[in-house]
Structure 1
Amino acid sequence: MSTNESVGNFNYPTPYRIGRGRIRELPDACRALGIKRPLIVTDPGIVSLPWFAEIERNLSRPADLSCKVFSKVQPNPTGDDVRAGVTAYRMHIADGLVLVGGGSALDVGKCIALMVDNKGTVFDYEDVGDNWTRVDASKMPPKIAVPTTAGTGSEVGRASVIVNEQHQKKVIFHPRMLPELVIADPVLTFGLPPKLTAATGMDAFAHCFEAFCAPGYHPMADGIALEGMRLIKNNLLTVYEQPQHLEGRTNMLMAATMGATAFQKGLGLVHALSHPLGGATNVHHGTANAIFLPYVMMFNRKAISEKMDQLARVLEIPTASNGFDAVLGWMIELRRALDLPHTLESVDGFSESMAARLAPLAVADPTMGGNPIPANERDCERLFIKALEGDLSA
């Protein structure tokens, strides 16, 4: 176990505290935000962990704090999860939320905050057009995010991904969905199983990678994405092999936050393919991203080759011929070392016949707009097939 420590307080993109033991600051943080009756939103796995009981005790102090736990959150959360959470919030007469967990719990918690005093269903606020302007933001209660995985970066996101009744993933957006405070304690990630450490870490990498490759002028996002990928290269395999490596876990939490900060610039085809696949098969989002990354790299090769030269230099990857091939080879080797699958053959429920059905959903996904090269339905269908067959040809 590493003895090196990184502790910090930031205010970008939202107030953020990181370091070992910071979870002890949660009760005072609630008080500072005027939260006296928090609803803790988490998932069934988190509830069973030893440290969660301490969080619950600390937010149940008879003098001034009274909490209730809502943990009916699925790995790919649905509109029903959000509705059940809103009911739990109202029954508790809550005045704020504490979101504890990975992307699923955080996404649901942010949507509960959106919906407790706004009309309609959560899908009325899908990230399409000006839907977000329908929200009365003054009615949204305060939220504290406590990430327990280093992947989605949902703790600093202004959006959530929720599955609708047609098993389609929809992006729900409002600027005020951004939590008012993040408390990132790396100790809470020590118990993350290696498989989830790998998948969530590759999710964070995909966020940084696609943000860096997205077209447009945004030097801040590019810089954040590059540093996020450097942190992932230097720490993901370490925490996969040494789960209680404090410095590595801290850096991975930071990298996940950086990925979600950077992708304000845009995402791309990796996510556009992963979202419908996850809705249809329930595959872990990070695993899907890890599978699609090299196939999408090949599709985008002409547009991103120069950027791959820069990325290879930042990541200090030896380049025998060119940066693109070096980065592609390194990424495939990292995925192999993390025991993540190379093809969609490993995804239960996926078959070649699904490619044509999922392709239009990929084209319509809001993340598609950030891809360096436009992709149509035929392109997406071909990429699903390539990812199934392991075909990395251009």
Structure 2
Amino acid sequence: MKLDHLKADWNYPTNIKQGVGRIGELPNLCKDLGMKKPLVITDPFLAQQHMVAKVLSNFHDHDMHCDIFSNIVGNPTEQNVKDGVAAFNYGNHDGIIAFGGGSAIDAAKSVALMVGQTLPLWHFEDKDDNWTRVNTSNMAQVIAVPTTSGTGSEVGRASVITDVEAKVKRLIFHPNMLPSIVILDPELTLDLPAHLTAATGMDAFSHALEAYCAQSYHPMAQGIALEAIRLIKDNLLKATLDGQNLEARAHCMVASTMGATAFQRGLGAMHALAHSLGALYNCHHGLLNAILMPYVLKANRSEIEGRIRRLTRYIGLKDACFDSFIAWVITFRQQLSIPHTLSDIDITAKDACLIGKMAFNDPCAAGNPIPFSEKQYTDIFINALNGEI
């Protein structure tokens, strides 16, 4: 199945090659950027898979050489980035291919930043004007090749990196961290297991939903978020139940990229809590967002009810009201086998106050429709533990 009607080239927000089989263009796209010896950064699992071997073989057929770096954990750390920089320098590489899910792409973008810096990684955390410290002259170019449909990191200007010592996740930001080229090839997602298809898809949903509900003025992002939510509603369950449904996979992949494009409008309490929980419990980020979703929606009800009514009409729910949307979200999660509470994934209340404080201080909290206090974040966390909506 070629799905030629879904093949396209876009230049928003960067150069995107969308369509089945587009991964075959990778060597020529590297040459277009002047890369002669790129470093492929991926995760340990993908490094052993056929799709990566096929990429290496394709480079060989084009008389090009590349190495692989895969020393990356599920929530990438500063040490992972340091090791990636060392691998880049040791191999005299001249560019980076970020290949995989959000963890690999986030790590790759941070490596691309840090190969040109003398200051430590945390000096570029997304606070105040830290980004102006970056020496852009030696940053590496990146081609991003997502293999999941969730984080949308391929169109982001930041990376989420775990500070193991402080037990927090930090955003590393610079405008030039946006990859130069993105390849969206849905064939690369066909082997993604059902539970990861669901969790990453719900991550994309959370991006679009929080962007849609954010308070800042950005009608373009709001419109993109609406359509991303519709694509996920219509296709994520199909892709989860039938992993070989290439058309559903393609729509989910595009929706993921759209969600990340939209969240320049802002994120919110789902991500503030998910970042905090991920740093402490090392849980899958998309799964955390999926579980937290109805509890955060309910807490934000007074500020977002009108927007949610418009959303329900757009995505075709029978009853255009807030309660109908909450009910649909809960049913949708059940169909995807997403747990209903944080307790279901072995999170406990022992760190409740700390979670509230961490979420309150997370950068994503600034985009939430209601400026929650530490106690309110703690209360949402407790509700999500106990299933109280």
TM-score by length of structure 2 reads 0.98
2:96 match: 97
How far apart in 2 are the matches of 1:21 and 1:4? 10
1:191 match: 191
Contact kept? 1:311, 1:323, Cα under 8 Å: no
Instruction: Name structure 2 gaps, 5 residues minimum.
Output: none
2:333 match: 335
Is 1:124 aligned to 2:123, yes or no?
yes
Matching of residues 3-42 of structure 1 within 5 Å:
5-42=5-42
How far apart in 2 are the matches of 1:307 and 1:62? 51
Q: Give the residue type in structure 2 aligned to 1:387.
A: A
How far apart in 1 are the matches of 2:8 and 2:338? 32
Matching of residues 235-314 of structure 1 within 5 Å:
235-314=235-314
Instruction: Give 1:59 shift.
Output: 2.4
Is 1:46 aligned to 2:46, yes or no?
yes
Secondary structure of the corresponding residue to residue 100 of structure 1: strand
How far apart in 1 are the matches of 2:84 and 2:217? 39
Contact kept? 1:79, 1:163, Cα under 8 Å: yes
CA-to-partner distance for each residue in 1:292-326, whole Å, 9 max, x for gaps?
1100011000100000111001110010xx52111
Instruction: Give 1:19 shift.
Output: 0.6
Is 1:352 aligned to 2:349, yes or no?
yes
Contact kept? 2:3, 2:20, Cα under 8 Å: no
Secondary structure of the corresponding residue to residue 59 of structure 1: helix
Is 1:154 aligned to 2:157, yes or no?
no
Instruction: Give 1:347 shift.
Output: 2.5
How far apart in 2 are the matches of 1:357 and 1:313? 39
Instruction: Give 1:61 shift.
Output: 5.1
Instruction: Give 1:3 shift.
Output: 5.9
How far apart in 1 are the matches of 2:79 and 2:291? 29
How far apart in 2 are the matches of 1:311 and 1:121? 43
Contact kept? 2:269, 2:296, Cα under 8 Å: yes
1:215 match: 215
How far apart in 1 are the matches of 2:380 and 2:321? 23
Secondary structure of the corresponding residue to residue 265 of structure 2: coil
CA-to-partner distance for each residue in 1:256-302, whole Å, 9 max, x for gaps?
00000000000000000000100100110000000111000110001
Instruction: Give 1:2 shift.
Output: 9.2
Instruction: Give 1:45 shift.
Output: 1.3
Instruction: Give 1:62 shift.
Output: 7.7
**Greater Cα offset, 133-142 or 228-237:** 133-142
How far apart in 2 are the matches of 1:62 and 1:150? 29
Is 1:176 aligned to 2:176, yes or no?
yes
Q: CA RMSD in A?
A: 1.2
Q: Give the residue type in structure 1 aligned to 2:167.
A: H
Could you say if the C-alpha distance between residues 151 and 253 of structure 1 is closer, same or farther in structure 2, counting changes exceeding 3 Å?
A: same
How far apart in 2 are the matches of 1:124 and 1:353? 32
1:112 match: 111
Contact kept? 1:2, 1:245, Cα under 8 Å: no
Secondary structure of the corresponding residue to residue 98 of structure 1: strand
Instruction: Name structure 1 gaps, 5 residues minimum.
Output: none
How far apart in 2 are the matches of 1:93 and 1:204? 35
Q: Give the residue type in structure 2 aligned to 1:234.
A: D
How far apart in 2 are the matches of 1:91 and 1:346? 44
Instruction: Give 1:139 shift.
Output: 1.4
CA-to-partner distance for each residue in 1:69-124, whole Å, 9 max, x for gaps?
00111111111110100000000000000010000000000000000010222111
Q: Give the residue type in structure 2 aligned to 1:300.
A: N
Instruction: Give 1:5 shift.
Output: 4.7
Instruction: Give 1:136 shift.
Output: 1.1
How far apart in 2 are the matches of 1:43 and 1:277? 22
**What is the count of residue pairs matched by the alignment?**
388
Instruction: Give 1:168 shift.
Output: 0.8
Q: Give the residue type in structure 2 aligned to 1:327.
A: F
How far apart in 1 are the matches of 2:285 and 2:381? 15
CA-to-partner distance for each residue in 1:209-231, whole Å, 9 max, x for gaps?
00000002211001000000000
How far apart in 2 are the matches of 1:148 and 1:51? 10
How far apart in 1 are the matches of 2:2 and 2:247? 6
Contact kept? 2:3, 2:19, Cα under 8 Å: no
2:369 match: 372
TM-score by length of structure 1 reads 0.96
Could you say if the C-alpha distance between residues 177 and 88 of structure 1 is closer, same or farther in structure 2, counting changes exceeding 3 Å?
A: same
Contact kept? 2:105, 2:153, Cα under 8 Å: yes
How far apart in 2 are the matches of 1:192 and 1:317? 29
Contact kept? 1:107, 1:161, Cα under 8 Å: yes
CA-to-partner distance for each residue in 1:239-258, whole Å, 9 max, x for gaps?
00110111111111100000
Contact kept? 2:116, 2:140, Cα under 8 Å: no
Runs of 4+ in 1 over 4 A off after TM superposition: 1-5
